[in-house]
Structure 1
């Protein structure tokens, strides 16, 4: 699929069928995340794939995954992330978000729906999944087959001239 068509097709899905995501598709989604670029190629991102009923229930204590049969908890390792020397800004959130985006787009290309979740309780997530202090939970990606009655909102985007300025900020 042409990239712009794929980007246009992607939408946030908040209602899923109970059909599980096949192992082959999960592998392809995870591979897309693994191949994602990271600052200085330090690759400070880890992913916890959550599929079992018990683990999804644990995750449900920290976040609403909208009944998705698969959720990917995206973590960034502070001890491995690149740091910009001028202001000490670490790329943990950026790297984790690039990985999340790659996995989200791969899920779309495979006919799956997803929703990017940042609204979660990190302390509960840490406790339920034994996440050590040096790993930062950044995102959760819920993935699955959209329910037949999933509402798809039209994607309204600002016009290109309000998005970009050439040569300097206007």
Structure 2
């Protein structure tokens, strides 16, 4: 599949088939995140995979949506703030940006493999931190739900026009 087709195929899946994700496919998705670029090549990410049923049920309380409980796999993507590159001028950490790039790579790889994902940022961070007993410098940034989509109907992607979001040579509204 060409990249231009791949980006049009990806969408946020909220209904999954109850079938396991093969480990070989899961490893391809994780490797896509591993090979994402990061500021100063710091690679400040950690990927926590949750797929065992005993952990699955308890973990699903971290995000209160019924559809979330049906995802066969969760990947929690964390930033290691001791490893992030910081902009010299203002000290801005690029951990969130680096992690976002890794997640994007994983979502596109999953799409190419026929799997669906949903990128979740609005979850109970402290519950997540407690569940995994994360040290203070490791921040859970997002959860990626993963599995085979149950619904073949892809939603129509509504996007702003290029005229609304592209500025040539200077910013103007």
Q: TM-score range by the shorter chain?
A: over 0.9
Which one of the candidate residues 138, 154, 157 is aligned to 2:156? 154
**Whole-Å separation in 1 of the counterparts to 2:101 and 2:16:** 24
Displacement of 1:152 in angstroms is: 3.1
Question: Where do 5+ consecutive residues of structure 1 fail to align?
Answer: none
Closer, same or farther: CA 66–60 of 1 in aligned 2, 3 Å: closer
Secondary structure, aligned partner of 1:61:
helix
Displacement of 1:129 in angstroms is: 1.2
Question: Where do 5+ consecutive residues of structure 2 fail to align?
Answer: none
1:144 lines up with 2:147 in the alignment: yes
Equivalences for 1:36-75 in 2 at 5 Å? 36-63=36-63, 64=65, 65-75=68-78
**Whole-Å separation in 2 of the counterparts to 1:14 and 1:161:** 31
Scaled by the length of structure 1, the TM-score of the pair is 0.95
Count residues with an aligned counterpart: 169
Scaled by the length of structure 2, the TM-score of the pair is 0.94
Displacement of 1:36 in angstroms is: 0.4
Displacement of 1:8 in angstroms is: 0.6
**RMSD of aligned Cα (Å):** 1.2
**Whole-Å separation in 2 of the counterparts to 1:106 and 1:157:** 22
Name 1:115's counterpart in structure 2. 118
Name 2:91's counterpart in structure 1. 88
**Whole-Å separation in 2 of the counterparts to 1:152 and 1:120:** 25
